Structure 1
Amino acid sequence: MKTSLKPLVKPNAIAVVGASSDFRKVSGRPVKWLIEKGYKGKIYPVNPKAQEIGGLPAIASIDDLPDGVDLAVVVLPASGVVQAIRDLGRKGVPAAVVFASGFSEIGEEGCKLEAELREAARASGVRICGPNCLGLFNAFERVIASFSQYVNGEVPAGPIAFVSQSGAFGTAISALARSRGLGLGYFVNTGNEVDVTFVDAMRQVIEDERIRVGAGYIEGLKDGPGLCDLADRAMELGKPLVLTKVGRTGAGARAAASHTGSLAGEDIVFDGVVRQKGIIRARNEEHMLDLVEVLSCCDLPEGAGIGIATQSGGAGVLMADRIEELGLSVPRLSDATQAKIQECIPGFGATANPVDVTGQFVADPKILSESVLHMLDDPDVDVGIVWLQLMEGFADTLVSLFEDIKERATKPFIVAWVAAPDEAVKALRKRGIAVLRGAEPAVDAVVGLIRFAEARRQWSADREVRAKQQLAQVVIPSGDGPLSTVDAVRILKSAGVSIVPTEFAASAEEAVHAAESVGFPVVMKIESADILHKTEVDGIRLGLKTAEDVRSCFADLVSSVAQKRPDASIDGVVVQPMFKGDVEVVIGLQDDPVFGNVIMVGLGGVLVEVLKDVAFRKCPLTPRDASNMIDSLMGAAMFGSFRGRKGIDRDALVAMLCRVSELGAATEGVLRELDLNPVMLTSEAAAAVDVVMVRHPRQVTSVSDSKASSGLSAAALMEK
């Protein structure tokens, strides 16, 4: 169901189905809070046994509702929900919030009831938030469709939209945000997501021009492609998405034919795709709110240089260490900047960055304000952090000082204030100045700000590249399971993927002819659909220099493998020229159950599953995506030059990753797995020397162009 969710989050009239006159009950709270919080639209309590509720006339049934109701808050038990949704659909009510539990979360019977509810929603056209949820609120229009205790307190509107799959934890985060003075314009708890998903809800609320940042808590993502589309839309709007997703280590291992498949756990794929799409991932609720506060207060920096001003040399060193741990640098201030700062601070202060203004600024606040402004003016500084502690007796002075800095500065900065007076924190946040509780949270949040700014610049720069991307045009033999090496090589070549010459031989004489064709010395590998990892059965022979070597080796190789794997059907061998690289990588595709086809790159060879130094992204890639993917590997330094060895041809590796990713995008739903392992890298080339390609275990006759990204045209065709 793709109808608008505006009636859900911004209704002009609300019915509360099952409303109670006892405002202490869950069923009484929505009416109570709609009235108390100042909702301006019409409110219709539906209860056949009541005359009035909260001073409002009660409606006997859904059928008696007037036209024009946009949202129904259904506070009935689970047993009455399905019929209520059918009745609402018949009445033309487009959206509903369902609080009731007793659905899929309780087991088989609940799953059946939830399936019935889903069908009722589709048949009636009612968009459902829930069931088993705490509902939602829109603080701008005072729409309170929730029974959460959070609403007992103030519901301040602000520039943050928060969507959570968890109810209790979501409202705990909301309460923590309120305690920080962060206003949530929207809160939506999606619950069991029988209809409206996390992605659906966030897509709706992020469009509101009053929202600057989207924040979310995810337990299990259902719509990976939708999240990618949402991220692109948020980038277009210039609105950061900050997500906390649990389950980093909970994804169970599953059987897979390829290295790529065995390494494609849920979290590592999620982590790679959200990084690719510019979504900022928060470790926990505190980190999320740190990021949200900074992103909602600060303009985007133009670069990655961080300036630090402190009243403590130790705090400055701690922050500098953390910045470098996260892969950024603390630039040394120019001589001209240092000279200006030296004129402001005591002689025993530090000027290079971090800037230590010492505690003397208490006597003369201009020491701090002028030092910070000079630091921010330095050409290598793009964003600043100002660290201080305590200062309860000088809170008002410091609030005025930071307000002055904000008015005069041309670059963003945040305040890290340890044990800050509460009133000072509230005053600064009211003035749009982010205040964090310590050194490391401040650094982590500023790094998030920098990374989003860089991601948006890259996204904008790649707009034309994405629009012109062409997916591979390939033909894949019908059937399922592993493809032969010859067929796999043909498909790779048609997609523009570099692989060494490969010939199949069913006999010793054919092997000799193949070796003469590709050129000595050669490699001979066993060919069997039942043996995908040849090294596991000693199924490879290297460095065969003559026809006689090849002839004698053929029988030995086939006999040896047959003894190790008597159950395997052996077709023959493949023959390739010897090709040695300076570095080996693995490149693969995997049909991920959430995101569809994703691409992997990592340090290759037989140790790939031991080292697990791999990165995943969604197909297809831009060259910049591919380059960022390479840089994210812990072993990325292996690709550079050292000890007289030239660096690898990085452009060739980037190009290969892009071609493989385009093949992956074109074969969505057709290929299950692909492994190119190893891919040999030299200073002049990149070429795969082994391939495992596995089809889905079902017949597919075509892949529609609709599978491709917008603006792309491609298809993977199955031979009849």
Structure 2
Amino acid sequence: MTFMNPDRAAVIRQLVNPRSVAVIGASADFSKVNGRPLKHLIEKGYGGEILPVNPKYREIAGLACYPDIASLPHAADLAIIALPAALVCDCVLQLGRKGTRAAVIFSSGFGEMGPDGKALERELADTAKAARVILLGPNCLGFINAFENVYATFSQYADGETGAGPVAFVTQSGAFGTAIAALARRRGLGLGYFVNTGNQADLDFAELMMAVVEDPRVKVAAGYLEGISDGEALVKLAQNCRALGKPLILTKVGRMESGARAAASHTGALAVSDAVFDAVARQYGILRARNEEQMLDMMEVFCQPRRAGGNGLGIATQSGGAGVMMADRAEEVGLSVPHLGTQTQAKLASVMPAFGAAGNPVDVTGQFVARPELLSESVVAMLDDPAIDVAIVWLQLMTGHVDALLKIFAEIRDSTEKPFLVCWVAAPETAVKGLGALGIPVFSAGERAVEAAAALARYGQSKRKADVGPEKSRLSPPMPTAPSGVQPTVEASALLAAAGIPMANVALAGDEDAAVALWRGNGGAVALKVESPDILHKSDMGGLILGVDSEAAIREGYRALVSRAKENMPKARLSGILVQEMSQGHVELVVGVSRDPVFGMIVMVGLGGVLVEVLKDVTFRKAPFDRHEAALMLSELRMGAILDGVRGKPAVDRDEIAELLAKLSQWADAMAPRLLELDLNPVLVGKSGPRVVDCVMILNDAPPEASSR
């Protein structure tokens, strides 16, 4: 029988919300891996049809048990496979013949076991593709859809209460993912979906998260990553989450392979995997959590519906010291603690005790115990201030006043629209549960509350950026036909200049006379540089002379550079000497592009010139991007204040630098079939704007479609 191959996305939706589940290799012993999913499906109240398959039984727990897949009365929407690894491929073939299009594979013994296991996993992937069966796993815990009581798992997490909630959690690690899920349950954070991807022989993290985040009952997406193979899929997931208005929170550990190879350019050397991932996360609005506790903090703050419109933080405390500590941390994580407006200060002064503080942080002291309106009116007044986007209320102990405080916090919630968080140190358990019931996030430490508020602010900024949308590239440069490897400087400069990159004029001289003629044509001082495909960083071997402005100096400089090249790098192929106009600029940048194996073309900008690999004051973005994103890159540089003028030096035009970066990103994206690495170092920036004075461009082999054009 031939079955139509339905849309893949529809099959994934069917996988996570099946009307019928077949358990292949089912056991009547509910303590075993192949018995636990039956136990959970029955005990948790799954409303669909359960179809056990095992020739050892005629029935299990009152359910008819079938001897094989062919004997099933119909194709199940989902199959759970709990068989030895050697039997899994044949099982998938049988499922395909029956018409089942989705399977969860618990079985281990695949890629995690070494070369033989990897070979078996490739065979499994090929078999599933031929059988038109979509796979979750192998070597996975499966998943839970708590909304529909689908328990396709043997995880310990399923043994406890798994009430549905607004969080979709997808994890590449089974054991660590289960630990995070258990911690979420302890905090009262409901996981609507819990999914473990296992070895990802077919379905990967991004595709699974894309499916579950579409559920309107899901408000927050969270995930644990150990590695990424498809960067484009992750970017599409992030864009979809932003469009849906659902924060995507990720904890990523480990390192990808992009930093493992030796790189010829500064950009390639610095573009190590974790730095690239971090930059792409910022670019596309992914909220990165350092660890599982910070992930849970972010989940908690985003489970409440209010969002921050900016990064202004208001702080109200019963301890001046706690307020200072939180204000310090706020500055470190990019929040501002603004001065309150005169009207707000007047409101606060009218209710504050004489020994309190009506600034920001607001110190309400312990007097609010006797005068509850002191806390509620102070916080409401602070949240009404236009400069405040989110607030934190700090208190400690107060065991005897829980009911009164819960009432106050309910009044604040009902009197405001902006988000506010509570930091309650050593809070009684009744207080934590009470705030949870009110939908108010509560934290046990001030810095954790500040970091959660910062996540709210970052998400709000990212959402606004997504609403504006990036500029679209119209760039379609001709693909170079040059052979692979380091490109001649003159040709590389011409390619970049045609894309609107401000390149210093440069030409190649094959002898002294040609160099003199080029100097005369320039009409002023020039720089002389060695040109060789084997000498990428000219300054490292004395391969340049600056400010040459006479015939005698040109001839002498030409001979000197040729001599240095032969002496320092006798095997280098010498093409001649470059003659380049002198450029002015008191700020020195390095700009570049590298090809990341996961995310594709990555643009870098940094300060430091020849010292860039020592200072490492650089930032990255995935190409293409617009001028606004480029401006954000510049704001991330630790020494970015240099751009605004220091020690008597004038400021440079950030917009012109951003324009260069945006144009370069558009060009790099268009050149993706051929560009491997690019270094523009240095880029001198002065009153006349940025000027690129040296470039190293490395192309790879042209793909067949490019070479045929």
TM-score range, shorter chain: over 0.9
Deviates more, 1:57-66 or 1:652-661: 57-66
1:474 — aligned with what? 478
Partners of 1:415 and 1:434 within 8 A in 2 = yes
Does residue 699 (structure 1) correspond to residue 709 (structure 2)? The answer is no
Q: Which structure 2 residues correspond to residues 60-99 of structure 1 after superposition, within 5 A?
A: 60-99=67-106
8 Å Cα contact 1:475/1:719 also seen in 2: no
The residue that corresponds to 1:382 in the other structure is 389
Aligned-residue offset at 1:263: 0.6
Give the aligned residue type for 2:269: S
Indicate yes or no: 2:619 matched with 1:612. no
Cα separation, 2, equivalents of 1:396 and 1:339: 30
Aligned positions of 1:546-561 closer than 5 A: 546-561=550-565
Q: CA offset at residue 478 of structure 1?
A: 3.4
Tell me, yes or no, if the aligned pair for 2:75 and 2:98 is still in contact at 8 Å: no
Picking from 501, 507, 513, the partner of 1:509 is 513
Cα deviation digits, residues 467-524 of structure 1 (max 9, x gap): x322341331332111111111111012111100010111111111222223320011
C-alpha contact 1:165 1:218 (8 A) present in aligned 2? yes
Q: CA deviation at 1:298?
A: 3.9
Q: Cα distance, 1:40 vs. partner?
A: 0.6
Check if 1:345 corresponds to 2:349. Answer: no
Distance across 2 between alignment mates of 1:417 and 1:98? 44
Distance of 1:211 and 1:153 partners within structure 2: 21
Cα deviations by residue, 1:256-300 (Å, 9 ceiling, x for unpaired): 110000111100000001101111110100001101110121411
Measured in 1, the distance between the counterparts of 2:274 and 2:335 equals: 25
Is the CA contact 2:479–2:671 (under 8 Å) kept in the aligned structure 1?
Answer: no
Q: Aligned to 2:535, what secondary structure does the other structure show?
A: coil
Query: Hey, what does 2:3 align to over in structure 1?
Result: none
Q: Secondary structure at the match of 1:606?
A: helix
- CA apart distance, 1:338: 2.0
Report the equivalent of 1:434: 441
Question: For residues 691 and 718 of structure 1, what CA distance do their matches in structure 2 show?
Answer: 24
State yes or no: 1:669 paired with 2:669. no
CA drift at 1:106: 1.2
1:42-53 maps to which residues of 2 (within 5 A)? 42-53=49-60
Aligned partner of 1:160 in structure 2 is 167
Unaligned 5+ segments in structure 1 are: 703-716
* Cα deviation, residue 423, structure 1: 2.1
Which letter maps to 1:639? Answer: L
In structure 2, how many angstroms separate the alpha carbons of the residues matched to 1:329 and 1:237? Answer: 28
TM-superposed CA distance for 1:350, in Å, is: 1.0
Contact 2:228 2:256 in 1 (8 A): no
Amino acid at match of 2:89: V
Superposed CA offset, 1:378-434 (max 9, x none): 121111101111122221222222112111112111111111111221221122111
**How many angstroms apart in 2 are the aligned matches of 1:245 and 1:251?**
16
C-alpha change, 1:429 and 1:595, in structure 2 (3 Å) is: same
How far the C-alpha of 1:125 sits from its partner, in A, is 1.5
Which residue of the other structure, out of 332, 338, 342, is the alignment partner of 1:325?
Answer: 332
RMSD (Å) for aligned C-alpha atoms? 1.5
Once structures 1 and 2 are overlaid, which stretch shifts more, 86-95 or 513-522?
Answer: 513-522
| Structure 2 residue matching 1:255: 3-state secondary structure | coil
Q: Which one-letter code corresponds to 1:582 in the other structure?
A: H
Mapped partners of 1:412, 1:584: distance in 2: 43
- Kept in 2, the 8 Å contact 1:477–1:719? The answer is no
8 Å contact kept, 1:45–1:57: yes
Query: Any residues of structure 2 matched to 1:282-681 within 5 Å, and which?
Result: 282-461=289-468, 463=469, 465-466=470-471, 468-681=472-685
> Using the alignment, how far apart are the partners of 1:309 and 1:250 within structure 2?
46
Q: Would the aligned equivalents of 1:604 and 1:677 in 2 still touch at CA under 8 Å?
A: no
1:162-177 equivalences in 2 (<5 Å): 162-177=169-184
Q: Which runs of 5+ in 2 are unaligned?
A: 1-6
The Cα of 1:604 is off from its aligned counterpart by 3.5
1:342 deviates by 2.5
CA distance in 2, matches of 1:538, 1:54: 82
Tell me whether 336-345 or 290-299 shows the greater mean CA deviation: 336-345
Q: Given the alignment of the two structures, is residue 280 of structure 1 paired with residue 287 of structure 2, yes or no?
A: yes
Moved more, 186-195 or 389-398: 389-398
Structure 2 partner of 1:133: 140
Per the TM alignment, residue 554 of structure 1 is displaced from its structure 2 partner at its CA by 1.3
- C-alpha deviation, 1:83, in angstroms: 1.1
**Distance in structure 1 (CA, Å) of the matches to 2:567 and 2:708:** 35
Question: TM-score under structure 1 normalisation?
Answer: 0.95
3-state SS of the aligned residue for 1:503? Answer: strand
The one-letter code of the counterpart of 1:663 is W
Secondary structure at the aligned position of 2:479 is classed as strand
Contact 2:481 2:702 survives alignment (8 Å)? no
Partner residue in 1 for 2:125: 118
What do residues 52-93 of structure 1 show as CA deviations (whole Å, max 9, x unaligned)? Answer: 112211011111223351111111121111111111111111
* Count of matched residue positions in the alignment of Structure 1 and Structure 2: 702
SS in structure 1 at match of 2:351: coil
Is the contact made by 2:312 and 2:390 (CA closer than 8 Å) also made in structure 1?
yes
1:472–1:495 CA contact under 8 A, matched in 2: no
Deviations 1:210-236 (A, max 9, x none): 111111111101111111111111111
Equivalent position amino acid for 1:476 in 2: P
SS at match of 2:87: helix
CA deviation map 1:306-350 (0-9, x unaligned): 111111111111101111112322112223212222232321111
Query: Residue 699 of structure 1: CA displacement?
Result: 3.3
Q: 1:218 aligns with which of 219, 225, 228?
A: 225
Match of 1:262 in 2: 269
Q: Is this contact kept in 1: 2:249–2:298, CA < 8 A? A: yes
TM-fit CA distance, 1:547:
2.1
Specify whether residues 718 and 503 from structure 1 end up closer, same or farther in structure 2 by C-alpha distance, changes over 3 A only: farther
Check the 8 A contact 2:258/2:597 in 1, yes or no.
Answer: no
Q: CA deviation at 1:126?
A: 1.1
Deviation at 1:537, TM superposition (A): 1.7
- Bigger drift between 75-84 and 211-220 goes to 75-84
